[in-house]
Structure 1
Amino acid sequence: MSRASAPFPQNRRGVAALGNTGVPGAGSARAVTRTLSDDPLGGTVRRTVLPSGLRVLTEAIPAMRSVSFGVWVAVGSRDETGPQAGAAHFLEHLLFKGTHKRTALDISSAIEAVGGETNAFTTKEYTCYYARVLDEDLPLAIDVMCDLVADSVLEPADVETERGVILEEIAMHDDEPGDEVHDLFARAVYGNHPLGRLISGPEQSVTAMTRRQIQTFYRRRYVAPQIVVAAAGNLDHTAVVRLVRQALRGTPLDTDPAAPAPHRPSTPAVRTKPASTVVEQKETEQAHVILGCPAIDRLDERRFALGVLNNVLGGGMSSRLFQEIREQRGLAYSVYSYASQYADSGLFAVYAGCAPGKVDEVLDLTRAELARVAADGVTPAELARGKGMSKGSFVLGLEDTGSRMSRLAKGELLYGTLMPVDELLTRVDAVTLDDVNTLAAELLARPMSLAVVGPFGDSDFAT
C-alpha cells in the first residue's frame, strides 16, 4: 500500500443518503450524510446521522497513515445524583473489562497486537473511549471500541476489582495537592452542585455503589442519541459508517429511530456560592493556591476575548503573572491562569505553587495584578500577543489525528456545530481592545474565592 493510499475504497459520490447497507437492524433504515467542510488546513469533514440518532463524524486526511477513532458519550459526572456520584467514571473503568464477545484480555490484546493504543477519560460533561491505530487496522478498532461501549457485561467480580482500583486512584489523587486544590476550588464555587464534586466521586459513594446502580446508569445514559462517533486520519467516511453500523448490530445501541440529543442548554445558569476561602490543611513542602471566580459559559460570545485575556494574564512565560511572580521575584515555580467553561457556567482562576512562607506575597501580587488589569485594561501590544497565542496554540494543536478527532466530537457534542478553522481564527482576529478591557473590568472585579492546600489553618487567611 502506498503512503498516500486509503485503507478503504474511496467514495466519490459526495453528499449522499446511505440506505440499506446489507446490515439488519441499524442498517435497515436510511441515514443522512452531508459534507461539513473541505478545510484547507485539514481534510474533508463529513457527518452522518444514523436512524437511531447516533452521529458519525469523520475527517479524511489522506497524508496520514494512522487513524484516531473515538466513541463520545454526552454523560459526565454532573449527570449523577448523590448516590450515583462516581458512576460515570466507574463505567469508564468497567467497559474495558469484557463484553459478550470479548474478555478484557481480548480487548487489550487485539489493539496492542497491531501496535495500537486505547484509553478513555471522564469529564464533568462527557466521557470518551478512543483508539489510535494504523489506517489498515481501523476496522478492528471500530469493532472493538463500539463493542465495549455498547455491550459491556459488567460482571460482579469486575465491579469489585475496579472498585478497589478506583479507591486507590482517589487515594492517589488525595496525595497530589497540586491536583486536589483544583477540586477544592470547584467546591468553593459550586458547593453541592455536581460541578463541585470530584469526577471520580467521593470514597463513600464509590464504596457503597452496587452493580445494579451502575448497570441502571449505563443503560439509561448510554443511548444512541447521546453518542457521537468521531474519527480522523486516512479513512473513507462511507466505509466508517458501514463498519460502525455492523459493529452495533444486535447491541443495545441498535435501536428504533430517534433524533440526536440536543447539546446541553446554557440556561438556567448554575447558581454559585458567595466568594469564600477554603483551606485543606496538609503538611506539604509547598503551598498550592487558587484564586478565582465564576466566569462565562462556553457559548458566550465573549469566550474569544476571554481566551485573549487569559493569555495576557497567565497564559505563558511572557504573561503578566509569570513575569511578575516567577521571573522578576522568584516566588513560585509554577504560576498560571486558566478558564474552564461548561454549558451553563464557567470559571476563571489563577494557580500558584510556592513555599508556604511566600503565600501572602504571592496572593498580594496576584490580587494587585488582577485589579490593575480590571482598572486599566491591557495594552495594544498585549492584545496582539494574546491573539497570536490563541491562534497559534489552536492550529498547532491540530497537528495530530487525536486532536482532530476530539475537535469533531466536541463541536458536535458541546456546540451543536463544527466551526471551521478559518472562521475560528477570524473570530479571534476580530477581538478588539475594548472587548478585552470591558470583559476584564467586569470579570476581574468580581469577589474572588480562594482555595489553599498546605500547612495552614482557616484563620491564616482570615480577612
Structure 2
Amino acid sequence: MRALWMIALALLASLALGQGGVPADWPDPFKLQFQRLQPAAIQPTRAQLSNGVTVLLIEDRSLPFVTGRIYLRAGAIYEPADKVGLSGIFASVMRTGGAGNRTPDQIDEILETLAASVSVSTDNLFTSVAFNTLTENLDQVLEIWADVLIRPRFAQERLDLEKGRALEAIRRRNDQPTQIAVREFVRRINEGHPAGNVSSAASIQSITQADLQAFHQRFFKPNVAVLAITGDFSTQEMLARLERVLGGWARGEVSLPSFAPPSPKPGIYFVQKETNQSVIYMGNPTVTAYAPGYSELDLLSRVLGDGFNSRLFVEVRTKRGLAYATGGAQSQGFGWPGFFYGASISRVEKTAEVIELMLAQFRDLRERPVSQEELELFRNNILNAEVFRFTSRQAVAERIARTQMLGLPPDYYEQYVRQIQAATPADLQRVMQQFVRPEQFVIVVVGDRRQFDKPLSSLGNVIEVPLE
C-alpha cells in the first residue's frame, strides 16, 4: 500500500515539474511514513456436534450464499506404500462416483440445476469436502454434501475413468523439463519420507474400489474432523441442520502413522533431456513451519529469490541475462522439515555458470550479513501482505480450521510477525549458517549435456537419473 502511494505521489510530482516545478510545501514522497494497516480480527463461533465434529461458524448476511469445508487428516503421505497416487484418485471418485442413494449423474444434474457445487480436494496432509450454495437451496445441498462425505459409492466406472486419466498423466509427465525438475527435486530432497513418493503406472493400476473404501473407512471419522462454514444463516439453526445431516456419522479411532524425517543424499542429480533450456533446483531441508528459525529463513528466502529485487533475479537474470526465470523460497513443512531452495530456468549453454552463480548467492548470505536497507525492503513486503489474510470470512474460517488440524497455537501468525519485525542482519546470518549448507545441497539439473558450457562433474558428484 505504501509503495502504491509513493508511486502515485511521484507521478504527481513529475506532472507538476512539467508545469513549473513542485510546490514548495509538498512533502518528499519517498520520505513519507504510513502506519501499517491492522485488519480487524474475525473470530468464528466454535461448537461441537454430538458425534464430535468441531464446527467453526461465521455469519455473513451480506449475500444469500453459504459456503462450507470440512477437513480430515487423510492426505497423500498416508497412502499405502504400494498404492502411491491413491489419495488423488480417492478425492476425484469420492465426488464423481455417486453417494448415498444417488448415482453420479443424478448428483451432477441436481447440483447443476441448483447452481451449487460440492467438491473434494486433497494434498499431502488433508482431504477436504466443500460445498457452495444459495441460501434457499441449503438443505438440499447439505444432504448431497453429507452423502459425499459419509456415504460415497465410488462407482467402478468412475474409478476406471480416473485411473485412465492418471495413467495418461504419467505417460506425459516427462514432456516438460520443469515438471521433471520439480518432481525429481521433491523426490530427492524428501528421500526416506512419503512426501517424496512418486506414483507409477503399476501403483495406479493396482488401485481398486476396495482400496478407496478402506481409505475412507480408516480416516473419515467425525471426532477428528473440523468444519468451517460461513454465510447467510443463523448459527443455532445451522447447528441444528448439521446435527440432522451429520448426526448418523459414527465416531471412531484414527491412528496416524509417524515417519522419520527425510534423509536426502547430497549431489547433482542430472536428467538428460533434449531442450534449449536447463531447469535447475537446489537446496536442503531446514525446519518445520513456524519452528525456531523458520521466520528468519522465510525472510532470507525473500532476499534470495522473491521478485525483481531479489539476489538471484538481479545477479543471474538482470546483470547477466542467463536465466529466463529464477527465484527461491523456504517451503512450509508440517510434521517434517520444509526446504530452503533456489531455482532457475536458464540458457542451456550457460548451465554450469548459472549453477555456480546460484551457489555463490547462498554462500554470500552465509558469509556476509544482509544490509539494513535490503532487510527493510523484504521485511516490509511480508508485513504489508498481512492484509491479504483477510480476503473473505470463509478464508479466515478455513485457515483457523487448518491451524487447529495442524496443532499450531492460535497466535502462530502473530508470533511470526513479531519475529519478522525483530529480525536483524546478524540474526539472519546466524540462521543461514545454522540451517543452509550449500555443500550438502540436493541439486537437480534437467537439460542437454551436449550443450553445457562445461561438464557437471566439474562441480561435484553427478548421479544420472533415467526418465521413467
Shorter chain as denominator, the TM-score bin is 0.7 to 0.9
Q: Which residue of 1 aligns with 2:101?
A: 101
With over 3 angstroms needed to count, the CA separation of the structure-2 counterparts of 1:363 and 1:235, relative to structure 1, is farther
Q: CA deviation at 1:54?
A: 2.4
Q: Which residue of 2 aligns with 1:145?
A: 145
Cα displacement string for residues 233-277 of structure 1 (whole angstroms, at most 9, x for unaligned residues): 455443443333222243xxx114x68x79998xx7504122122
Q: Which residue of 2 aligns with 1:190?
A: 190
Q: Which residue of 1 aligns with 2:387?
A: 395
Q: CA deviation at 1:460?
A: 4.1
| 1:354 has 2:346 as partner | yes
Q: Which residue of 1 aligns with 2:374?
A: 382
CA distance in 2, matches of 1:86, 1:131: 24
With over 3 angstroms needed to count, the CA separation of the structure-2 counterparts of 1:173 and 1:262, relative to structure 1, is same
Cα displacement string for residues 18-76 of structure 1 (whole angstroms, at most 9, x for unaligned residues): xxxxxxxxxxxxxxxxxxxxx95243322223343322223444556654421222111
Alignment of 1:312-461 (within 5 A): 312-340=303-331, 341-401=333-393, 403-419=395-411, 424-446=416-438, 447-456=440-449, 460-461=455-456
CA distance in 2, matches of 1:130, 1:360: 47
User: Which amino acid in 2 is paired with 1:89?
Assistant: G
SS of 2:350's partner is: helix
Q: CA deviation at 1:438?
A: 1.3
Q: Which residue of 1 aligns with 2:212?
A: 214
CA distance in 1, matches of 2:177, 2:354: 18
Q: CA deviation at 1:164?
A: 0.8
Whether the 8 Å contact between 2:277 and 2:447 is mirrored in structure 1 is: yes
With over 3 angstroms needed to count, the CA separation of the structure-2 counterparts of 1:60 and 1:171, relative to structure 1, is farther
User: Which amino acid in 1 is paired with 2:369?
Assistant: G
Alignment of 1:230-241 (within 5 A): 230-241=228-239
Q: What TM-score results when the alignment is normalised by the length of structure 2?
A: 0.80
CA distance in 2, matches of 1:156, 1:344: 35
CA distance in 2, matches of 1:101, 1:82: 33
Whether the 8 Å contact between 1:58 and 1:408 is mirrored in structure 2 is: no
CA distance in 2, matches of 1:305, 1:139: 47
Cα displacement string for residues 162-210 of structure 1 (whole angstroms, at most 9, x for unaligned residues): 2112222333443333233222012212224311113xx2221011222
Q: CA deviation at 1:110?
A: 3.7
Whether the 8 Å contact between 1:281 and 1:455 is mirrored in structure 2 is: yes
CA distance in 2, matches of 1:129, 1:110: 18
Q: CA deviation at 1:334?
A: 1.6
With over 3 angstroms needed to count, the CA separation of the structure-2 counterparts of 1:270 and 1:420, relative to structure 1, is closer
Q: CA deviation at 1:424?
A: 5.0
Q: CA deviation at 1:421?
A: 6.2
CA distance in 2, matches of 1:419, 1:263: 26
CA distance in 1, matches of 2:353, 2:138: 54
Whether the 8 Å contact between 1:73 and 1:227 is mirrored in structure 2 is: yes
With over 3 angstroms needed to count, the CA separation of the structure-2 counterparts of 1:144 and 1:280, relative to structure 1, is farther
SS of 1:174's partner is: coil
CA distance in 2, matches of 1:417, 1:67: 28
Whether the 8 Å contact between 1:188 and 1:196 is mirrored in structure 2 is: yes
CA distance in 2, matches of 1:330, 1:104: 53
Q: Which residue of 2 aligns with 1:14?
A: none
Q: Which residue of 2 aligns with 1:33?
A: none
Q: CA deviation at 1:451?
A: 1.2
CA distance in 1, matches of 2:255, 2:366: 36
Whether the 8 Å contact between 1:41 and 1:421 is mirrored in structure 2 is: no
With over 3 angstroms needed to count, the CA separation of the structure-2 counterparts of 1:418 and 1:109, relative to structure 1, is farther
Rg larger in structure: 2
Q: CA deviation at 1:449?
A: 0.6
Aligned residues: 416
Q: CA deviation at 1:408?
A: 2.1
| 1:301 has 2:292 as partner | yes
Q: Which moved more, 1:415-424 or 1:447-456?
A: 415-424
CA distance in 2, matches of 1:378, 1:263: 42
Alignment of 1:16-27 (within 5 A): none
With over 3 angstroms needed to count, the CA separation of the structure-2 counterparts of 1:415 and 1:433, relative to structure 1, is farther
Q: Which residue of 2 aligns with 1:203?
A: 201
Cα displacement string for residues 97-126 of structure 1 (whole angstroms, at most 9, x for unaligned residues): 210233323333444444445544321111
Cα displacement string for residues 382-402 of structure 1 (whole angstroms, at most 9, x for unaligned residues): 222222222233422431355
With over 3 angstroms needed to count, the CA separation of the structure-2 counterparts of 1:125 and 1:132, relative to structure 1, is same
CA distance in 2, matches of 1:334, 1:184: 19
Q: CA deviation at 1:373?
A: 0.5
CA distance in 2, matches of 1:133, 1:237: 17
With over 3 angstroms needed to count, the CA separation of the structure-2 counterparts of 1:110 and 1:419, relative to structure 1, is farther
With over 3 angstroms needed to count, the CA separation of the structure-2 counterparts of 1:104 and 1:454, relative to structure 1, is farther
With over 3 angstroms needed to count, the CA separation of the structure-2 counterparts of 1:45 and 1:65, relative to structure 1, is same
User: Which amino acid in 2 is paired with 1:388?
Assistant: N
CA distance in 2, matches of 1:156, 1:427: 51
Q: Which residue of 1 aligns with 2:32?
A: none
SS of 2:390's partner is: coil
CA distance in 2, matches of 1:282, 1:401: 46
Q: CA deviation at 1:292?
A: 0.6
Cα displacement string for residues 294-339 of structure 1 (whole angstroms, at most 9, x for unaligned residues): 1101241322222211111112222111122222222222211122
User: Which amino acid in 2 is paired with 1:327?
Assistant: T
Q: Which residue of 2 aligns with 1:57?
A: 56
Q: Which moved more, 1:137-146 or 1:312-321?
A: 137-146
